[in-house]
Structure 1
Amino acid sequence: METYESRQRRPPLQLQQLRYLITTAECGSVRAAAQKLYLSQSSLSVAIRDLERELGITIFKRTSRGVSPTDEGLEAISYARQIVDQADLMLSRFAENGESEVRFAVSSQHYEVVVEAFGDLLDAHAERACHLTLSETSTIQVIRDVHDHRSSVGVIYLNDYNEHVVGRSIESNGLEFRPLFIARPHVFVRADSELAKKASIRPEELSAMTRFAHLQGTEGSAYFAEEPLADLPCHSHVALSDNGSLARLLSEHDGYNIATGIYPSDRGIVPVPLETDEIMKVGYLIRQDAATDALREEFLDLLCAHCASHEPMIKPCDEVLERTGRLQA
């Protein structure tokens, strides 16, 4: 067993080593990573081998096609990202003049209320130096971002279908889900389509249409889909990572997307209620061990105000009512 004295004699890990590790994992090859880092391939290889020796594990499997992380390597890379992100946060937290820099990050599925609240936060701190980040991304990436401290808040939805799988991922990552509002699924269709004239749409009416959905990366399971009823039969399936692109294509083609019903009315698409017993419970994620964060609380107050403004399209949960002063004892 390694003693305290032997640990003290080991050279300390350097941030630069961890940055090399992360870049190599992202590039998938030492050669490509070395080019990106402006290093010689041999220098980077030595740095990685030194790090493997210091940690006592094999981080990468070497093949003729490049490198891929081992199971222990994946864990080491996850820790490296957290350490580097926190170091960068500490270094940039204070501006050169000594004043605190406004720094805040949110990761979210694609919700208009999140964009609205984020815009209000930006306006509120317009006079200060800011480093604000809004990442609209996949469900699993939202969970990872909050777990890895890349974001203070994540926004996703749960329902009866996905909660046992997504909820397990939330719990295993040390996060807590707090509901914001309940919504009935709506079908978004082109404003001049025949379906847009209907009072409601039956699921079977969508089977001959193209479904537009938000890309979920390699986690393509229906449980992690951003849209409810992701396993409904459809003619074609189109996945996009950008909400603007999805809205544009949807406004120009005969297709549909299923969401909460909250969306600007000036983008050529309209929501029509879907005839289903499903409900969407939209809420936010924070770490279970999250410390008090004034910016996070400010953002959540703004987010709750925007959620409340969309009644009766949605039904606010207790936290929204409490933060907007409407919760009755």
Structure 2
Amino acid sequence: MNILHLKYAVSIADNGSINKAAEEIHVAQPNLSRVIKELEADLGITIFQRSAHGMILTPEGEEFIGRARKILEQVDDMENLYKSDRPAQQRFSISAPRASYISDAFAHFSRSLGKADAEIFYQETNVLQAVKNILEVGYNLGILRYASKHDKYFREMLEDKDLTGELIMEFTYCLIMHEDSPLAKMETIRMKDLSDYIQIAHADPYVPSMPLSVVKNEELPNIPRRIYVFERGSQMDLLAENPQTFMWVSPIPERLLKNLHLVQRRCVDNQKLYRDVLIRRKNYHLTALDKQFITELTLSKRNCEFDE
């Protein structure tokens, strides 16, 4: 096994196809197939499951590719360090919850990239994947969202995985709905008022050492009609087009609400606190780009705080 073999495997994983990978890295398809078979035989694992839909990573393969990405990233860093004729490439990677104030910060952060080469990764995902991205995929930063009362469980998990966490924001979920929704015109909104409307939600909560069924019951109170959407853009489209929908969210910057004709309101019955915590490996040192993003995150947070 060598660095070239790792690059071949990562290319196949990225493309989901040996043929596409062969075109991308300019290697004959039979030779690429042979290399992967030899690699699997040498390691004693199955990296890819062959199917009619292409090359699919096995659980072992996901771990292998995650480690391969880390090695290739280290090789790139070494080359950048010692090849003076090669311009340094800016790198930034973060996994975050589906939160508008965070994506707003990321949008403003993108202006700071300038004209230098840059490789930027921003993934909206759940707690488990955010941790996995740091430990296995090679991401540098992550943001975890959880109920404040579970802070002890998450702190223990971070310590166990040699990660460190820094509180970004503590908040109570508010409601957003279209400005034409009857909910938006109510003087006071209570939990019982929501039963006639459609909730937009994503059901992927997680708390270490707690059964998923218990966490789901806690995070998703009974609503007769619910649409599960796991992509924030589509969630916003639904809210903007259907006045019968609502969603629980962390506070959103006023500018975004105006653009989508949405209204942000408190529910007097909801007093539960949540936390957004920035995580990274304990031995990881923040880069200039990391610090710039955190600055934008702080500014965005200030712009979305509101009182009634």
> Relative to structure 1, is the Cα distance of residues 172 and 237 closer, same or farther in structure 2, using a 3 angstrom cutoff?
farther
Q: C-alpha distance in 1, partners of 2:222/2:39?
A: 48
Alignment partner of 1:301 out of 284, 295, 299: 295
Structure 1 contact 222–231 (Cα < 8 Å) conserved: no
Q: 1:193 to 1:83 in 2, by over 3 A?
A: same
In the alignment, structure 1 residue 278 sits paired with structure 2 residue 272: yes
Q: Deviations over 1:92-134 (max 9, x none)?
A: 7899854433332232123333234334433334354444343
Displacement after TM superposition at 1:69 (Å): 5.5
Q: In structure 2, what is the Cα distance between the partners aligned to 1:308 and 1:287?
A: 27
User: Could you say if the C-alpha distance between residues 26 and 231 of structure 1 is closer, same or farther in structure 2, counting changes exceeding 3 Å?
Assistant: farther
TM-score (ref. length: structure 1):
0.71
The two structures have a TM-score, normalised by structure 2, of 0.75
- In 2 relative to 1, CA 131–81 (structure 1 residues): closer, same or farther, beyond 3 Å? closer
- 2:227 equivalent in structure 1: 237
- TM-fit CA distance, 1:192: 0.7
Q: For the structure 1 residues 33 and 115, does the alpha-carbon distance in structure 2 shift closer, same or farther, using more than 3 Å as the test?
A: same
Q: Is the aligned partner of 1:176 residue 2:164? A: yes
Identical-residue share of aligned pairs (%):
20
CA change 1:311–1:239 in 2 (3 A) is closer
Given candidates 91, 99, 102, the residue that maps to 2:90 is: 102
Residue 265 (structure 1) aligned with residue 257 (structure 2) = yes
User: 2:31 matched to 1:43?
Assistant: yes
Q: 1:182 to 1:64 in 2, by over 3 A?
A: closer
If asked which structure has higher relative contact order (CA below 8 Å, sep 6+), I would say 2
Who is 1:252 aligned against? Answer: 241
Once residues 294 and 51 of structure 1 are traced to their aligned partners in structure 2, the CA distance between those partners, rounded to angstroms, is 38
Deviations, residues 62-93 of structure 1 (Å, cap 9, x unaligned): 67767766654443233123223444555578
Contact 1:186–1:258 (CA under 8 A) maintained in structure 2 = yes
Matches within 5 A, 1:189-268: 189-214=177-202, 229-241=219-231, 243-253=232-242, 254-263=244-253, 264-266=256-258, 267-268=260-261
Q: Kindly report the root-mean-square deviation, in angstroms, between the aligned alpha carbons of the 2 structures.
A: 3.7
Q: C-alpha distance in 1, partners of 2:130/2:47?
A: 26
Instruction: Say which structure is richer in helix.
Output: 2
Q: Which runs of 5+ in 1 are unaligned?
A: 1-12, 314-329
User: Helix, strand or coil for the counterpart of 1:207?
Assistant: helix
How many residue pairs were aligned? 291
Determine the C-alpha separation between the residues in 1 that align with 2:247 and 2:128: 20
